[in-house]
Amino acid sequence: MEIFFYWFDHLGVAVFAISGTLLAFRKNMDGFGVIVLAGATAIGGGTIRDLILDLPVFWAHDPTYLYTIIAAAVLTIFWLRLRDYIHQKTLLIADAIGVAFFTVMGAQKALMADFPAIICVTMGTITACFGGMIRDVLARDVPMVLKSELYATTCIVGASVYVLLAAFNPLLALFIGGLTTLLLRLAAIRWQWHLPVFQEHSDSR
């Protein structure tokens, strides 16, 4: 079981590294910029999670994650050389897949450390959202989590589903929680679902 979680975590890191590389390509960054953006996206949220939970920072104790980031970035660069343009929708889909992976993995790590359910849900959300926030800030974009479509809310729902089901079947919980997050995020992108926006009342006078 631990081996499965370990490689599932690597898969999430790779997907978010691809997301960072795609954005770096759109921003015409050089090779160093690509690695920085890929790395920040892939390990930013998990690093913040581990620091908050006072756990060993995962990639500092297992440099294999860094090799995963480099490999994912390099392979993506080779693929991008065959294309002239990356549509914004491709970035959104890649980000949504990474969010789904990291939501359940962040919640899973907190749950394995015996933290309360609400903390597990919070850590799943932080793990999924903060890497993308760092990526977007470095790229001088408005972070996706601050835009109108549902983002963090999908992580909260997916992490909650995982925590509720984990006591019965951890693997099934991982799948259903991640799929819930992914489908909600894709639906929010497709149909532009969003929470009510607070707006200043106009002065009728």
Classify residue 105: in a domain, yes or no: yes
Average per-residue pLDDT in the chain?
Answer: 90
Residue 38 lies in a domain: yes
Does residue 67 register a pLDDT over 90? yes
Per-residue confidence band for 74, with pLDDT thresholds at 50, 70 and 90: very high
Report the pLDDT averaged over residues 9-25: 92
Q: What is the pLDDT of residue 148?
A: 60
- Residue 27 in any domain: the answer is yes
**Taking residues 54-83, what's their average pLDDT?**
93
Overall domain count for the chain = 1
Residue 198 lies in a domain: no
Q: Which residue has the higher pLDDT, 200 or 5?
A: 5
Q: Torsions phi, psi of 197, nearest 5? A: -100, 130
Of 5 and 179, more confident: 179
Whole-model pTM?
Answer: 0.89
Residue 197 in any domain: the answer is no
State the residue range of the domain holding 159. 2-191
Mean pLDDT of 105-115: 95
Q: Does any domain span residue 83?
A: yes
User: Is the pLDDT confidence value at 45 over 60?
Assistant: yes
